[in-house]
Structure 1
Amino acid sequence: MFEDKKDDFFLARWVSGELSEEEFKAFKKHPEYQYYAKIMAGADALDLKTYNVEKELIALKSKRENTTNKKKKGTVIKLLPYVAVAASIAIIFGIFLFGPKDDFATQYGETLTVQLPDGSEMILNAKSKASFDKDNWKNTRLVSLEGEAFFKVTKGSKFTVSTKNGEVSVLGTQFNVQSHNALFEVNCYEGKVSVVNKNYTEILTAGKAYRNYGNTPENWTFTGAEPTWLTNTSSFRSIPLKYVFKELEEQYNIQINSSNIDLTTIYTGTFPNNNKEVALRTVFSTLGMDYTISEDGNTVVLEK
């Protein structure tokens, strides 16, 4: 399940409370941690019967001894102590996956990769939300999004991402959608996408982008195979400063006091998503602004 885990029973050991402190800390940083935490949150609501491991071990060993296709005894011993836990995970996992509606959300500085029912992939950026109806997926392939996400869509029927600012429809492609307040931006990385924003419709091909904020549509071309935020860098092209500050806040869980700043100032630049000190220095030095940080590190006060 996790490429970076050396043992095959990582989830079972997690459920059993057998992870070391270092392993648990590393797991919490994994993009799928919240996903499994949500699965396990429903465990208390299930009335699972106690699994008699010793009894089932004896029965299974007896059955296996009577077959011609025998396996090593050591393999059986290694697997069976985790059977009850693994079975519980499978039951919970099935209930969670096949519910009528799936909702996903990321916190400050987090990203989350979600495999959709048709094999398409959705990667959520920090402080974003997405949902879809699994039961009706074959008929709709519809995802509701608030925030930012990158999609890798498998070919098939029309695939639609719906936001409060507009819709993006494709058949099979890779694209990024950002919808924050009045900002709506779409970048096409592969294939072709249809963008509908209020009374405006745009067809984007690979390397083309569309943006609308303040009822002002804008188009441009770009290079790159994927959004830079996937590699821990936030990038901005001629965008009002308020959206840059919003991204800083969402990546680092901070509040920027900008009461004396003109937030309509246009900004072009980047900052890292994994080093707060460098990110703040990069943005504000570019703008020629001084700043101070509160003692708790949660508030940034700007000075002209």
Structure 2
Amino acid sequence: MLDDKKDDIFLSRWISGELSEEELREFKSHPEYEYYVKIMAGADALDLKDYDVEEELHTLKSKRNSTTNKNSGLVIKLWPYTAVAASIAIILGLFLFNSNDSFSSDYGEQLAVTLPDGSEMILNAKSTANFDSDSWNENRTVTLKGEAYFKVKKGSKFTVSTKNGEVSVLGTQFNVQSQNNFFEVACYEGKVSVSNLKNEEILTAGKGYRNLNNSNPEQWTFESNEPSWLTNTSSFRSTPIKYVFDELEEQYNLDINTKNINLKTIYTGTFPNNNKEVALKTVFSTLGMEYSVSQDGKTVVLEK
């Protein structure tokens, strides 16, 4: 076991490329070796001419003296630096090597994201969105899978791209839901253009658009100022229960066994996103269906 002074010398020799083959093999066998490599790679990528990597590693090691005891084992004792090195690696990965920003929400979660121009995006449960921050000023495009509410700052064309169609605006507030073959857009302020392979529509505030299974699209009017899910209520208007069940699964991390159930049955109503028991009772009592929940609370079995 080497003392701290010798450890510093060892690190210095590694940075300078002066380790023997045997010493280098021993160093590479340590589980924290990869983090030091990432620190060095990050420093090179940043091209910080005045940044002394050797001195910073020495500083990190000095801080260890007041909080840890010496451990026996490998030559270099790097455990105290795991969190620091991992954080540096994450930062480098996000800001140096990947300009494509991706955001995902979990079951029952809403995720608010401020876009590069100050526009706002709020993801509903189990939704994913990504965009290229490097080219944002020239191309304000968000690729969406799931559901999100947007408050767009005025400026160049802003596009939400989904597998079911695109929504384009200059500055407005609107909601987009795109899952499987379900595509729905509601405009709450301003004006939006909705297009897919077959149709192109212009929606003004208080108008909604829906296309199911690439069939004939439908439009309707509404009076609300924002989508109900922002206040933890899922709402449905003449919607096949397949999509209602999908929403229940995404809000509560459930698996609904729908064997022998007609998933084309139409549902109009709401359910809360913060109380599973009430949500299940609300939906299935409205549909006139009996159901049971597994002991772990994860599976719902429906009875005709």
Q: CA RMSD in A?
A: 2.6
> Where does residue 94 of structure 2 map in the other structure?
96
1:181–1:106 CA distance, 2 compared to 1 (3 A): same
Indicate the structure (1 or 2) with the bigger Cα radius of gyration: 2
Does 1:46 find its partner at 2:45?
no
Identical residues among aligned pairs (%): 65
CA distance in 2, matches of 1:210, 1:290: 32
Long gaps (5+) in structure 2:
1-34, 41-52, 64-82
The aligned amino acid for 2:104 is: A
Does 1:118 find its partner at 2:120?
no
> Where does residue 106 of structure 2 map in the other structure?
107
Does 1:224 find its partner at 2:205?
no
* Aligned residues between the structures: 235
CA distance in 2, matches of 1:192, 1:183: 21
Does structure 2 retain, via aligned residues, the 8 Å contact 1:292–1:302?
yes
Does structure 2 retain, via aligned residues, the 8 Å contact 1:290–1:302?
yes
3-state DSSP of counterpart to 1:292: strand
Please report how far the alpha carbon of residue 106 of structure 1 lies from its aligned counterpart in structure 2 after TM superposition: 1.3
After TM superposition, the score normalised by the length of structure 2 is 0.71
Does structure 1 retain, via aligned residues, the 8 Å contact 2:129–2:144?
yes
User: Per-residue displacement from partner, 1:120-168 (whole Å, max 9, x unpaired)?
Assistant: 1111111111111111111110110011000010000000000000000
1:157–1:276 CA distance, 2 compared to 1 (3 A): same
1:176–1:94 CA distance, 2 compared to 1 (3 A): farther
CA distance in 1, matches of 2:107, 2:117: 28
Does 1:301 find its partner at 2:294?
no
3-state DSSP of counterpart to 1:151: strand
3-state DSSP of counterpart to 1:46: helix
> Where does residue 188 of structure 1 map in the other structure?
187
User: Per-residue displacement from partner, 1:216-256 (whole Å, max 9, x unpaired)?
Assistant: 20000011111111111100000000000000000001100
1:51–1:192 CA distance, 2 compared to 1 (3 A): farther
**Counterparts of residues 104-183 of structure 1 (less than 5 Å):** 104-183=103-182
> Where does residue 198 of structure 2 map in the other structure?
199
Please report how far the alpha carbon of residue 96 of structure 1 lies from its aligned counterpart in structure 2 after TM superposition: 2.4
1:134–1:43 CA distance, 2 compared to 1 (3 A): farther
3-state DSSP of counterpart to 1:284: helix
Long gaps (5+) in structure 1:
1-41, 57-84
The aligned amino acid for 1:259 is: K
